[in-house]
Amino acid sequence: MNFLHLLSSEAIQHITIHCLNISVWRSAEDQLPDHRSVKFKAWTGEVFEVGGELEPDVLEDSCWINDGRWHQTQFVFHSLDPTLLPVIDIYNLPKTNSASHYHLEIGPVCFL
């Protein structure tokens, strides 16, 4: 991994959380993410989070919809510091019950 970090000037990774009746980023369409939102741990140990210096870009967030259908929240991590990626852990995932579920789709890191 160190070799890839040394040869690169930036890195990109996509993570999608597929969700059923459970919010992972915003709790409603007109609300901003808050302290209950998911957080992502970078390779270096730093944390990507809401309002932080390392906040991820969100391409889509429909997980707040609670209608019995699957939705998704898509995150993009783009950094000019390639040592931050890949994401190595996800914090603050919500607790599920019999009517709510989620699963993660972790994309590869593209070192540029």
- Whole-number Å distance between alpha carbons of 28 and 47: 24
Strands 39-41 and 70-79, sheet pairing: unpaired
pLDDT value, residue 110:
97
Quick one: which of 96, 83, 82 has its CA closest to 22? 96
Cβ distance 19 to 33 under 8 Å?
Answer: no
Is the predicted pLDDT of residue 32 greater than 80, yes or no?
Answer: yes
Q: How far apart are CA 24 and CA 64, in angstroms?
A: 7
Q: How many CA atoms lie within 13 A of 9 on its CB side?
A: 0
Residue 12 has pLDDT above 80, yes or no: yes
pLDDT, tens digit, for every residue of 58-111?
A: 999 999 999 999 999 999 999 999 999 999 999 999 999 999 999 999 999 999
Higher model confidence: residue 82 or residue 32?
A: 82
pTM of the model: 0.93
Is the model's pLDDT at 52 over the cut of 80?
Answer: no
The fold of the 2-111 domain, in CATH, is: Jelly Rolls (2.60.120)
User: What is each CA distance from 5 to 20, 57, 78, 103, in whole angstroms?
Assistant: 36, 21, 14, 29
pLDDT-derived band at 35, boundaries 50, 70, 90:
confident
